Chain A
Amino acid sequence: MCDQTFMAATFGPCESCGKPSPLMNIYIKNEAINYCSFCVELMACQGLQSGESVASLKRECESLKKKLEEERGKLNDVELHQVADKIEVLGALAIKTRRVLKGHGNKVLCMDWCKDKRRLVSSSQDGKVIVWDGFTLSKENGISVPCTWVMACAYAPTGCAVACGGLDNKCSKAVAMHTNYVSGCTFTNSDNQILTSSGDGSCALWDVESGQLLQSFHGHTADVLSLDLAPSETGNTFVSGGCDKKANVWDMRSGQNIQSFESHVSDINCVKYYPSGDAFASASDDATCRFYDLRADREVAVYQKDSVIFGASTVDFSLSGRLLFAGYNDYTINVWDVLKGTRSSILFGHENRVSRVRVSPDGTALCSASWDHTLRIWA
């Protein structure tokens, strides 16, 4: 479709200037408007400051993008791994499977730790959400959710509630309603608010009690697959990543997109903040994980190897931020040295894709969820 010349279908008084003339019947935001052609031009120009036009805005767009690249480039005086050359290489890590949690009947898609460092919740394609005691392997609770593909689950800060969502487009008994699947959810600092990401391209903040939408975040141009809240000391921001290959940082109060990073060449499956809140990592279908520093406003490391060709679906940092655990579609978990950019070790054990890895709140263990119907705890 290109700009069309409308055939005037009606004749009458213009709804704007009142003069009788051939009217153009157009729809703005689903409302029918019947203006004469002069008033239509006037209305379209109201969106412009004096001297602007679509062409001039597009030119400004291009020059701003160039300026952004230049500014970011000027500050790239050294690479992270070069600065990290002076620290010692990591010793061999003694991490092994310590527990295998069996009980789901289908692919385990998501898991989350409770703040008490021993309980965890997991959700699966079979529609079940199970709460486990990580020490004893007992199942404390099991709920059936009326949809398959429960893609996201989260533990509330007090440990008293669990939220989950998936293909039914809702998060937990319709607290959050999106127009497409819910890919991720997390409680904010209280049990009362949930942040969700969705296949409909948006993220949203909801009040749990009333189900009311408190803030929505628009800017992604495709499905949003993951989100993570900034660690509490650093304030009200969160990062989201999606199928448009972009990772966006948002201000929760204003709904504003503060920073945006686009260096992956395929869908971003997972994003996670560095423990200090000044950086975050992302995992992507392009088989790399990347590390972005928020204050330098650029990517500072890429974790990749020629032998790693399968997409990465999930990442999490160890407590100090030195290790990055990444789960891949080749059934392994690679452990990367965040600062040096090298791979420290590989964790084998799962018999299908690893869908989620999470380090426990006190950093003593790593839990991984997989399409092989099990969860493993590594320590």
Chain B
Amino acid sequence: MSSKAHNNLLHTKRIVQQLRIEASIERIKVSKASADLMNYCSEHARNDPLLMGIAASDNPFKEKKPCTIL
């Protein structure tokens, strides 16, 4: 076997080891994962200024005077 075949072998071995690790992880159902994502969103929605919009007086970026655009 040439050294190229040897490298090929090591490369394939590495891929197989990686796949074995990936195949063995614990997974949950998409329905459960989606429910959790939705819960997170609704719990934090009221603290999300970009989502809810906050009063101009509270937002330092929203000022009464117009933006200085040169």
Which residues from chain A sit less than 8 Å from chain B, CB to CB? 1, 3-4, 6, 26-28, 40-41, 43-44, 47-48, 54, 57-58, 60-61, 64-65, 67-68, 71-72, 75-80, 83-84, 87, 90, 93-95, 97-100, 102, 118, 134-135, 137, 219, 256-260, 274-276, 278-279, 293, 295-298, 300, 318-323, 338-339, 359, 362-366, 377, 379
Report yes or no: B30 in contact with A364, Cβ–Cβ below 8 A: no
In the assembled complex, the CB of A349 is this many whole angstroms from the nearest CB of chain B, namely 11
Partner of B30, one of A40, A41, A48, A80: A80
Given the complex, which residues of A lie within 8 Å of B60, measured CB to CB?
Answer: 118, 135, 364
In the assembled complex, the CB of A25 is this many whole angstroms from the nearest CB of chain B, namely 10
Partner of B49, one of A64, A71, A278, A363: A363
| A60, A137, A259, A295: residue with the most chain B Cβ atoms closer than 10 Å | A295
Can you show 24 pairs from A to B with CB atoms below 8 A apart?
A3-B2, A40-B1, A54-B12, A68-B23, A80-B30, A80-B37, A83-B35, A98-B62, A98-B63, A100-B69, A219-B18, A259-B22, A274-B37, A275-B40, A293-B34, A295-B28, A318-B50, A319-B44, A319-B51, A320-B47, A323-B48, A362-B49, A363-B47, A379-B61
Report yes or no: A379 in contact with B9, Cβ–Cβ below 8 A: no
Report yes or no: A320 in contact with B51, Cβ–Cβ below 8 A: yes
B57: Cβ under 8 A from any A Cβ: no
In the assembled complex, the CB of A248 is this many whole angstroms from the nearest CB of chain B, namely 10
The residue of chain B having its C-beta at the shortest distance from the C-beta of A322 within the complex is B41
Report yes or no: A279 in contact with B53, Cβ–Cβ below 8 A: no
The residue of chain A having its C-beta at the shortest distance from the C-beta of B49 within the complex is A364
14 new A-B contacts, CB < 8 A, other than A47-B10, A137-B68, A319-B44, are A28-B6, A79-B30, A98-B67, A135-B61, A259-B22, A293-B34, A295-B36, A319-B49, A321-B44, A323-B50, A363-B47, A364-B61, A365-B49, A365-B50
Given the complex, which residues of B lie within 8 Å of A3, measured CB to CB?
Answer: 1-2, 4-5
Given the complex, which residues of A lie within 8 Å of B69, measured CB to CB?
Answer: 100
Partner of A359, one of B23, B37, B44, B50: B50
Given the complex, which residues of A lie within 8 Å of B53, measured CB to CB?
Answer: 93-94
Report yes or no: B28 in contact with A338, Cβ–Cβ below 8 A: no
Which residues from chain B sit less than 8 Å from chain A, CB to CB? 1-6, 8-10, 12-13, 15-16, 18-23, 25, 27-38, 40-45, 47-51, 53-54, 59-63, 67-70
Interface SS of chain B: helix
Given the complex, which residues of B lie within 8 Å of A323, measured CB to CB?
Answer: 48, 50-51
Known: A75-B27, A320-B47. A365 touches B61 (CB 8 A): yes
Partner of A26, one of B2, B28, B37, B67: B2
Given the complex, which residues of A lie within 8 Å of B67, measured CB to CB?
Answer: 97-100
Report yes or no: B9 in contact with A48, Cβ–Cβ below 8 A: yes
Known: A65-B19, A87-B42. A322 touches B33 (CB 8 A): no
Q: How far is the CA of A155 from the CA of B59 in the complex (A)?
A: 23
Report yes or no: B1 in contact with A41, Cβ–Cβ below 8 A: yes
Q: How far is the CA of A43 from the CA of B3 in the complex (A)?
A: 10
Known: A44-B5, A68-B22, A80-B30. A366 touches B12 (CB 8 A): no
Given the complex, which residues of A lie within 8 Å of B44, measured CB to CB?
Answer: 275, 319-321
The residue of chain A having its C-beta at the shortest distance from the C-beta of B42 within the complex is A87
Q: How far is the CA of A76 from the CA of B70 in the complex (A)?
A: 53
Report yes or no: B51 in contact with A322, Cβ–Cβ below 8 A: yes
Q: How far is the CA of A318 from the CA of B42 in the complex (A)?
A: 13
The residue of chain B having its C-beta at the shortest distance from the C-beta of A78 within the complex is B31
